[in-house]
Amino acid sequence: MSYAGPEFEPSRPPRSRRPMTVALAALLPGALLGWLVYEAVRGPGDGSGGAAAVSPSPSRPATTGSPTPGSSPDGKRPSAAPSSSASVSAGASVPAGSGSLRGKVVVIDPGHNPNNFRHASDINRKVNIGTGWKECDTTGTSTNAGYIEAKFTLDVARRMRTLLEQQGATVKFTQDGDRPYGPCVDERARIGNTARADAVVSIHADGSAAGNRGFHVILPGGVHAGAADTRAVVGPSRDLGERIAGRFLHATDTPPSNYVGRGTGLVTRRDLGGLNLSTVPKVFIECGNMRDSADAAQLTSGAWRQKAARGISEGIVSFLRG
């Protein structure tokens, strides 16, 4: 995601170097815990080609129930985060038991729009997000070589649609590259609400500094202001997000963000209209950092995007099955 444009991320507070403490370990929900377990299980020399044999069983950790303060990243790397292999195995198998999602509605929100670049005045128009006013939409970021986030998000979303429809889910998009720009963030939220979606996932890739790597899932914080009232969906959205983070980690064999979320892969925010205005369970996922060359190598790989789509989809399926 890029909130201010393709080149910039919102300013973040200076990194603090906090010692790893037991208290911090207690905060680790989902992703990192899953990563540590996964690393322990697969052992040395077991490349990602064997990842398909590992049952994606991210733990449902006992969380403290307190939201992750995503606005105060500490920049600490996960202690077990290895340099991830970019090797991939193509293809994704659809689990047995197909059709079990019949009647379930999933809204996928491919972040940004490939045509936003041509509609600056339209996407810069301010819309109300409950807590204030924000741009209708942004262009998103891109890799240094010019692969734009909006194409990435559409590609992953379409792969997810195939996987979820194979299991009987009804899948709706907020945009499918079929409109001149946007939609605006408030409309993106409304589409999920109107569809009475059982789960909504907004797909993004980040535009942070080189060296910042890994994915993170963004959860809605508790917001009750103006048209925004997330209080009923904070809990289920966290459940959805934890499951997605865990499955994404296993499917892609890549560690959680080393620059936000304290290594958990989870960040809570209250400044995103797409989350603030949602009345159904919804999360964002930043699949990687397009401005880091190692992450970019993954994000530009179709085989890796298939893994990403599979991981996110498996998290949704897990959530829908309860």
User: How many helices (H) and strands (E) are present in the chain, helices listed first?
Assistant: 9, 10
Nearer Cβ to Zn ion, position 108 or 320? 108
Nearer Cβ to Zn ion, position 2 or 258? 2
- Alpha helices (H) in the chain, listed in sequence order: 22-27, 31-42, 120-124, 149-165, 185-194, 234-252, 273-276, 293-299, 302-321
Nearer Cβ to Zn ion, position 138 or 318? 138
Nearer Cβ to Zn ion, position 34 or 111? 111
Q: Residue 121 is inside which H or E element, if any?
A: helix 120-124
Nearer Cβ to Zn ion, position 111 or 241? 111
CA distance 59 to 62: 9
Sites of contact with Zn ion (CB under 5 A): 1, 111, 140, 204
187 catalytic? Reply is no
Count the helix, strand and coil residues of the chain and give each as a percent rounded to the nearest 5. Answer: 35, 15, 50
Backbone phi, then psi, for 119, in 5-degree steps? -135, 55
Rounded to a whole number of angstroms, the minimum distance from the CB of residue 153 to Zn ion is: 7
Provide the sign of the torsion angle of the four alpha carbons 159, 265, 257, 278, taken in this order. positive
Rounded to a whole number of angstroms, the minimum distance from the CB of residue 271 to Zn ion is: 14
In one-letter notation, the amino acid at residue 48 is S
Rounded to a whole number of angstroms, the minimum distance from the CB of residue 138 to Zn ion is: 7
In one-letter notation, the amino acid at residue 272 is L
Residues contacting 195, CB < 8 A, separation 6+? 105, 107, 172
CA distance 319 to 297: 30
Rounded to a whole number of angstroms, the minimum distance from the CB of residue 276 to Zn ion is: 16
Candidates 9, 187, 242, 286; catalytic one = 286
Quick one: DSSP state of residue 101? T
Omega before 14 within 30 of 0, i.e. cis = no
Q: What is the CA radius of gyration of the chain?
A: 18
Rounded to a whole number of angstroms, the minimum distance from the CB of residue 117 to Zn ion is: 14
Q: Which residue is nearest to Zn ion (CB)?
A: 1
Mind telling me the catalytic residues? 286
